[in-house]
Amino acid sequence: MNASLLRRALLALIVGSLAACASRPAFEPTPARPPRVEVAPLPGEPAALPGPLAPPRSHWVAVHWGELPGFADDALYEAWNAWIKSCERPAPVFAPLCSEVRQLSIATGEEQRAWLVSRLQPYRIEGAGGAADGLLTGYFEPEYDAARVPGNGFSVPLYAPPADLARHRPWYSRQEIDTLPQAQAALADRAIAWLRDPVEAMVLHIQGSGRLNLLEEGGTRRLVRVAYAGTNDRPYRSIGRWLLDQGLVRDATWPGIRAWMAQNPQRVNELLWTNPRYVFFREEPMDALDAAFGPRGAQGVPLTPGRSIAVDKASIPYGTPVWLASPGPLVPLSRLVLAQDTGSAIVGAVRADFFLGWGAQAGETAGRLKQPLRLWALWPRQQN
């Protein structure tokens, strides 16, 4: 048997192996809305569509695979890496598929597409009133130079949580942490690294994690990750929004904020203190494998650049494979992604934050990415 026939035989075995396992939807069906014009089914998918589903903050309408833009062209093997990560902590409805997902990691794109069509049902995600259009933004993992001890320009600390954080809620505000002796005393010996730039520290506080090219006391350097370890329980306020509201800038991207700070050094603390929320970190070592992925998202698995998204978990459960389509203009996208993270600003049915990776270029793109979005959840079919 040649390799192509062997792969087809393997695919048939995988697709049939769990045919007797019934996957029960996690949401109750809801009454159908007025039908839309639907495309014809692809070979291998049922002609009849199931009824809609209704998570708490969205409405899912079953469609045929032919509705998904770019489905025939996506490099699915890139998404398979993210899916295998999701299988480290799968949602119950997806756990029975994980053995098949792992086996298909060496399959061709044609075989992976055929498996998706046979095992998963696409649902167009809609908001209130049937709105299918939403918003795509981007986020990234910052990467900065840092030092283990202050000095030589490294003067901005990143702190581990204070010992009394659990007993003192909310904890001191950002301004109080910078100015009150009692707050400084509580953070004595809690600094895990020092940065040069307060804007870099603010970016880490907003993103929740980052990579540090860390200068150790002996003069050696190593790459470490600082991961989210808690907050002071104060509300988040956007410093960019404050600048816009004050009429101080027209460009509230990070380059615009940096430019304003360079021109107004005497007002830097005033700007930073408008955001009372303060984030504490823990240090994590990084080996070569860790460096190939991003930080752990809310699902508890490492994020994959270009294939992980943050979602509203009340609209899309963690671990759900999702088809994402956005026409641009900055980053045109039509691809398979995995819902593996969330964020305080990611609220609503058709809303996603696209993980772009790490470093300066990813940060530049993330800071400017804001474009239209459509989403389709890919849910396990009920097997007879």
Return the residue matching tokens 């005497």: 266
Q: How far apart are CA 342 and CA 339, in angstroms?
A: 8
Q: How far apart are CA 286 and CA 141, in angstroms?
A: 14
338, part of any domain: no
The number of folded domains in the chain is 1
Which residues in the chain come in under a pLDDT of 50? Answer: 1-35
Task: Write the CATH number for 282.
Answer: 2.40.240.50
Are 136 and 205 within 8 A, CB to CB? no
109, part of any domain: no
Written as six digits, the tokens of 297 are: 């998202």
72, part of any domain: no
pLDDT of residue 38: 63
41, part of any domain: no
* One-letter amino acid for residue 162 of the chain: P
Written as six digits, the tokens of 147 are: 């030092």
263, part of any domain: yes
Q: Tally Cβ neighbours within 10 Å of residue 218.
A: 6
Contacts of 346 (CB under 8 A, 6+ apart): 310, 311, 312, 352, 353
181, part of any domain: yes
Q: Tally Cβ neighbours within 10 Å of residue 169.
A: 9
pLDDT of residue 258: 87
Q: For 126-140, how does the pLDDT look when each residue is reduced to its tens digit (9 = 90+)?
A: 998 899 999 999 999
50, part of any domain: no
pLDDT of residue 24: 36
Contacts of 212 (CB under 8 A, 6+ apart): 143, 144, 145, 146, 193, 223, 224, 225, 226
267, part of any domain: yes
Closest CA to 157 of 185, 196, 186, 183: 196
Domain range for 151 is 141-289
